[in-house]
Homo-oligomer: A and B are copies of this chain.
Amino acid sequence: MEIGFFTTIGQRVKYFREQRNITVNKLATLSGVSQSYVRDIELGNKQPTIEFLEYICYGLGITLQDFFSDDEKDDDLTKAIKKLTPEQRELLTAFLQSLS
């Protein structure tokens, strides 16, 4: 199954898991679900319910919103803001206050 355009649920779980350098086993433990299940999710053999994907997101240390967020789809303004340094964000905050 596809999430938007970019990848499947399973590929995305695997991506986040590998980013954190943990095994399927470890993720299952952190999430409170079975190892065989996490495996099935990653392989696309099973379609998780929201409830169980939320458990896995918890194990990954992210929210469901994070899981489904797609930076590619941000508008230009949002993309630009995400690239700012903390100092630039300070400047921006000041600028926004001057607008109101």
Name A's B-contacting residues (CB within 8 A). Answer: 1, 3-4, 9, 47-51, 53-54, 63-65, 67-70, 73, 76-77, 80-81, 84, 88-89, 91-93, 95-96, 99
Contacts and interface: CB of A to CB of B under 8 A. Distances in A.
Given A48-B50, A50-B1, A54-B1, A80 B96 contact: yes
Contacts of A1: 50-51, 54
A71 to B, nearest CB: 11
Copies in the complex: 2
Nearest to A75: B89
Closest 3 A-B residue pairs measured CB to CB?
A47-B49, A65-B68, A64-B68
Contacts of A50: 1, 3, 9, 47-50, 53
